Amino acid sequence: MDPISIDPGLLQLTEIVLTAEVVNTNPALEVNDLPVSIRQMFCTESPGVIARPVVIKEGVLKSYLPTLAARRIIQDEKNSYLLCNDLGQFSVTAFTPALKWYYRHVGPAKLMQNPALTLALETAGEQDVNYKKARANIPLFEDTAAYLTGKLAAITEKSESFKEAADLVVPYAPEEIEFSLSDLVCTPDQLGIVRKVQISLENQDFLRSHRIYELGRILLVGPPGTGKTSFALALSRSVHMPVLEVRLSMITSQYLGETSKNIDRIFDLAKKIAPCILFIDEFDYIAKTRISDDNGTMKRGVNTLLKCIDHINLIKDQVLLIGATNHAGMLDEAAWRRFDEVVTFTLPDAGMREAILNHVASDIPCTIDFTTLAARTEGFSGADLRMMLTEAIVSALLAGRKEINEADVNAGMELVNRRNLVRSGCA
């Protein structure tokens, strides 16, 4: 059959029915063996859990794919391997011939987006497909916002304590984070920490069997705008863990009487959501409180936080704890010793500034010499450089252009310098 004459709807319907057949005959397959487009259709009873046996009905298809005229397609296509019975249920007449027919018409690139069918074809002896690579091609369900939202809802609806804790954190699913570590300009030391975390996760059973637990508590230190928060969020995508972000100043200022309880609740929630990253921003607030605040409730809250950190780790609890501070010098020894790793974030040197500029402006039309611009931006943080280029783009658009020039960059640089003067109190 000429590939051009194949109805795309027939190929779509064939994929769905073949996938249902594979899933029903192989109980080891799970949600991450399904292409993203049909996961919800196969997981009708509980998000992320395949409802077996999967039965493809006309009504179900209309619910999820209203434009797919499934019954008409079967009637019109003389060479279809599909049947629809009087109950509106679809089936395949001969599985292996149908699978090979589908593969001939879609090719390996399309098939490798469906791990279940890739496994079936690989088992049948096809050399040009690989199940493990197909699994790596598609997003994990555990990385989705649907997974995180469902998990939070299941936990919080049964516990008022967890519900209160959820109100104190900002959750991010990996898919909700729009950048990865490859989008950041990281130092070798920073990338080394990432590799340590990945290796620890890959070898959890070994580490647990040897009682090696002092891993996975990381402190990020450095001036504002140097990428600490971006690093913590981007790490989420590399290790396939959602992030629960909490700011200490918010908890201690808004919930003074409940500070200790809320800190306990947040750590308990992280263990319940695990695997996850618990990201504590403004960690220097601990030091400020211990040094300058004589409020007994507040100090008890700080002590509770330190004790909670003592009782959480990556290997036992599958919680990666990341703290961030702009003022490392303020942290006392009690806070420092809670962390297994300290990662430094400094203002970028000329080479890093040039790399950041090239990366941020990689797809922006411009006539700028970034080597020269990097030399002119001494003292700029990564955030400053991004803000400068954003303002340069706006300047160009206001002038009716979509290509930035030196004048636009100067406008951006002036904005950043003005903001930094105000922040330093020199304006």
For every residue of 382-423, DSSP letters joined together read HHHHHHHHHHHHHHHHHTT-SSB-HHHHHHHHHHHHHHHHHH
- Reported as a pLDDT band with limits 50, 70 and 90, residue 290 is low
Over the chain, what is the mean pLDDT? 90
> What are the tokens at 374?
């990097």
Query: pLDDT (tens digit, 9 = 90+) per residue, 374-412?
Result: 999 999 999 999 999 999 999 999 999 999 999 999 999
Q: For residue 256, is pLDDT > 70? A: no
Amino acid sitting at position 236: S
Backbone angles phi and psi of 277, in degrees to 5: -105, 125
Query: pLDDT (tens digit, 9 = 90+) per residue, 20-74?
Result: 999 999 999 999 999 999 999 999 998 899 999 999 999 999 999 988 888 888 8
We find that the CATH architecture of domain 143-344 is 3-Layer(aba) Sandwich (3.40)
Instruction: Quote the pLDDT of residue 288.
Output: 67
Region 262-284 average pLDDT: 94
What is the reported pTM?
0.84
Domain residue spans in the chain? 3-138, 143-344, 350-424
Instruction: Quote the pLDDT of residue 70.
Output: 85
Q: What percent of the chain has pLDDT over 90?
A: 72
Q: What percent of the chain has pLDDT over 70?
A: 93
Q: In what helix (H) or strand (E) does residue 90 lie, and over which residues does it extend?
A: strand 90-92
Closest by CA to 119, choosing from 40, 31, 23, is 23
> What are the tokens at 369?
């010499």
CATH topology for 350-424? Helicase, Ruva Protein; domain 3 (1.10.8)
Beta-carbon contacts of 362 under 8 Å, excluding residues fewer than 6 positions away, are none
Beta-carbon contacts of 393 under 8 Å, excluding residues fewer than 6 positions away, are 364, 404, 408
> Are the C-beta atoms of residues 420 and 384 closer than 8 Å to each other?
yes
Higher pLDDT, 76 or 184: 184
